């Protein structure tokens, strides 16, 4: 999947991640004759080209940087974003809980910035298929550019389908032809009828939702459909540790809630799931309580009501250009014609306030 080799010296056209002594990251695209500029001095790209992965290089001011090929996690956390990405901690759990494996036929919606698409494509390893459904062409452009910037070319087993999943899925996939469905969308319950037709018996449905109200609504809709096993819901939190000498303790900050994962298995046709024995509540919820918590009016489930951050059209167009430029630079590097991409502006992640 990678245009760049997994090891060996850095080449022109590659993406390289520089880490300064304070842990600040700067990602640059190597191009002969260019320089990386920062308040800590400059580094000529030609000094990096030919160095071994994992080398240390000093700037003109004497600041030392560790130079590494970024891992996929690094690329995803720094790539241009149209929509919010699925964090690596959640992507890893999605791959595990949905049992994404080589040969699987996978459907995802929506594609967002392409972060989850990259993880799924890597797990498929060039086999099976991934169909990514996206309503907005602008997001599809960002995702396509980000994926190609990593893979070097648009994967043959990947297809982006524009349109609403519930409308486009029947025309894109035959009934009973999909092994796994992963949904990252506002109201996944709206797509359950189309998904139920597309999934094979035993197939996995997994939804990624941000709020507890969405989690509750999708769980009840899965149960009410009668087509799935009892849904399983959870969230993943990651807490780093400070480890230095005898000062070993949890970090003060952590990546806590990003989203909930809820999954279920498709039942065989005409199968009735045995009733689950649950402990009764002393104070069962009334219809009014349920309506207040999870409104039945789909018009109430808006991005604003759920607190989702919106990206302006201007920013989205900029992210699209950045993603496309990254894709073109990777294609040029893969073809050995890096000079043809000289008109493209480099994309970089400049936590270290470095500019090029």
Tokens representing residue 93 in the block = 């759990």
Q: What is the mean pLDDT of residues 212-237?
A: 96
Cβ atoms of 198 and 181 closer than 8 Å: yes
Peptide bond into 110 cis (omega under 30): yes
pLDDT of residue 234: 96
pLDDT, one tens digit per residue, over 252-270 is 998 899 999 999 999 999 9
Report which of residues 330 and 199 the model is more confident about: 199
Structure pTM? 0.81
Cβ atoms of 2 and 151 closer than 8 Å: yes
pLDDT of residue 109: 96
pLDDT, one tens digit per residue, over 39-57 is 999 999 999 999 999 999 9
pLDDT of residue 340: 40
């Amino acid at each position: 999947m990678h245009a760049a080799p997994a090891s060996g010296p850095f080449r022109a056209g590659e993406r390289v991640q520089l880490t300064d002594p304070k842990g600040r990251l700067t990602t640059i695209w190597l191009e002969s004759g260019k320089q990386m500029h920062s308040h800590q001095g400059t580094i000529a790209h030609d000094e990096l080209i030919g160095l071994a992965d994992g080398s240390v290089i000093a700037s003109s001011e004497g600041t030392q940087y560790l130079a590494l090929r970024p891992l996929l996690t690094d690329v995803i956390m720094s790539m241009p974003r149209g929509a919010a990405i699925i964090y690596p901690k959640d992507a890893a759990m999605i791959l595990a809980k949905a049992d994404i494996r080589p040969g699987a036929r996978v459907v995802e919606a929506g594609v967002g910035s392409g972060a989850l698409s990259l993880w799924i494509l890597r797990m498929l390893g060039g086999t099976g298929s991934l169909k990514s459904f996206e309503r907005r062409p602008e997001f599809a452009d960002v995702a396509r550019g980000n994926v190609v910037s990593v893979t070097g070319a648009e994967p043959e087993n990947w297809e982006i389908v524009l349109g609403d999943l519930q409308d486009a899925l029947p025309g894109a996939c035959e009934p009973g032809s999909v092994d796994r469905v992963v949904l990252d969308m506002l109201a996944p319950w709206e797509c359950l009828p189309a998904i139920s037709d597309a999934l094979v018996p035993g197939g996995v449905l997994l939804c990624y939702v941000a709020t507890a109200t969405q989690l509750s609504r999708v769980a009840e809709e899965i149960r009410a459909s009668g087509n799935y096993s009892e849904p399983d819901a959870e969230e993943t939190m990651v807490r780093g540790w400070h480890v230095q000498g005898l000062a070993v303790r949890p970090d003060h900050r952590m990546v806590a809630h990003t989203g909930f994962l809820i999954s279920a298995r498709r039942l065989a046709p005409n199968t009735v799931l045995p009733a689950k024995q649950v402990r009764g509540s002393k104070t069962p919820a009334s219809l009014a309580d349920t309506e207040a918590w999870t409104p039945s009016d789909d018009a109430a489930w808006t991005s604003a009501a759920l607190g989702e951050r919106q990206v302006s059209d201007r920013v989205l167009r900029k992210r699209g250009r950045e993603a496309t430029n990254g894709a073109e630079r990777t294609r040029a590097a893969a073809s050995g014609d890096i000079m043809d991409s000289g008109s493209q502006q480099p994309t970089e992640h400049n936590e270290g306030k470095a500019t090029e």
